[in-house]
Amino acid sequence: MLPSWLDSVAQVSAAVKGANPHWQVTMDTYASSAGDPGGFYDIAGLAPSVDAFFVMAYDMNGSAPSPTAALTGSGFTDLDALQEYTAVVPPSKVILGVPYYGYDWPTTGPDLGAAATGPPTPLSYAQIANANTVRSSVGVGLTWASPFGPLTVNYAVPLTKASYDVVQPLGFSAGPY
């Protein structure tokens, strides 16, 4: 970042604080800014003029099915971003921005790491919230009070489900009395 740009941020911050000392100056930054000294933002240089950094910790998933903003895991995660920022500025200056959207990836199966079969479809927060609707199924179950404990067999067929729901039509359980 150019020193003149740092000076400009310092001047704006001083003007804001001069107008009202209770006002705060925050800056939106990308998730890897603190760990990228050659990048656009000089987090250490900006820190004296900024009350907080809003870390846009989302859309870090790349081009394969994965979380929009994984807390931990492989690749660059929210935890990595937080560790990089708190190595440069106090934790009180870090605001973690999390996504209120997601992607619906068509995959070969329900398991983590399943290969994509097509491009993702963006989902808004409203679409995700509406996806948390009640699911319904119809089925039958049989429990036998055996000498070894109750044995139960269930069979059900979903009536309503989402494309990402994992369906297990047949179930079996055994347990002590």
Question: What pLDDT, on the 0 to 100 scale, is given for residue 3?
Answer: 61
Q: What is the pLDDT of residues 44-71, one digit of tens each?
A: 999 999 999 999 988 876 777 877 888 8
Question: What pLDDT, on the 0 to 100 scale, is given for residue 39?
Answer: 78
Rounded Cα distance between 144 and 133, Å, is 33
Whole-angstrom CA distances from 152 to 17, 155, 166, 172, 174 are 68, 10, 21, 6, 6
The structure tokens 């790349």 sit at 62
Q: Give just the sign of the alpha carbon dihedral 127, 132, 138, 140.
A: positive
Tell me the whole-structure pTM to 2 decimals: 0.66
Question: For all residues of the chain together, what is the average pLDDT?
Answer: 85
Instruction: Categorize the per-residue pLDDT at 156 as very low, low, confident or very high, splitting at 50, 70 and 90.
Output: confident
Instruction: Categorize the per-residue pLDDT at 164 as very low, low, confident or very high, splitting at 50, 70 and 90.
Output: low
Tell me the average pLDDT across 77-97: 93
Tell me the average pLDDT across 74-96: 92
Rounded Cα distance between 100 and 26, Å, is 20
Domains of the chain: 3-99 (3.20.20.80), 136-174 (no CATH)
